[in-house]
Amino acid sequence: MTKPGVPFVILALAGTLAPDTVRASSVKIHEVLGGPAGYIALRNTGAVTLDIGGWSVQACTGGAVPVELATMPAGSEIPAGDHFLITGQGFGGTVQQMVVEAIVGDGEMLLDRRRARVDSVGWAPSSPCRENQAAVACPGFAQARDAVSRDTDDNKADFGCVRPLP
């Protein structure tokens, strides 16, 4: 005997993603440099402009749970093939689409407006932000994907050390 309403609850839960679920998206964390002069470059690898208003970036700061670093304001978009730049207050570049105090942590995680994980990078083996193997740490350099933002869900394979943006 089934209770009334049980199928409804099951259907309702079936459409809800767990917070650590990875949702397919053409937006990738393309490049990261930590610190007050650091930045996070998000890249739209798709063929259409994407609305990222309400999406967030969380920082893995050594604890078991990431902390909120930035939430993209309504109307934030990334054109096809282009970038969205989140910078620390000390960033010296001319393009700054969103400014936070500093880029902190041992990894970063991008969440969509439903709070599902879209992409992440971690460079500490214990970081909850890492995908499979941690990326190699790059003291004094930024960590970046290749020119097409290849994503194999293995940070060690996907990220390398590069000179930071000017």
Residue 57 and residue 46 in contact, taking contact as beta carbons nearer than 8 Å: no
Q: What residue ranges of the chain have pLDDT lower than 70? A: 1-24
DSSP one-letter code for 131:
-
- Can you give the residue ranges of every domain in the chain? 19-162
User: What is the residue type of 91?
Assistant: F
How do residues 12-57 score in pLDDT, each as one tens digit?
A: 333 434 445 445 689 999 999 999 999 999 999 999 999 999 999 9
**What does pTM read for this prediction?**
0.85
Residue 136 and residue 161 in contact, taking contact as beta carbons nearer than 8 Å: yes
Backbone dihedral region of 13: left (phi > 0), alpha (psi from -120 to 50 degrees) or beta?
alpha
Q: What is 19-162's CATH topology?
A: Immunoglobulin-like (2.60.40)
- 3-class DSSP assignment, residue 37: coil
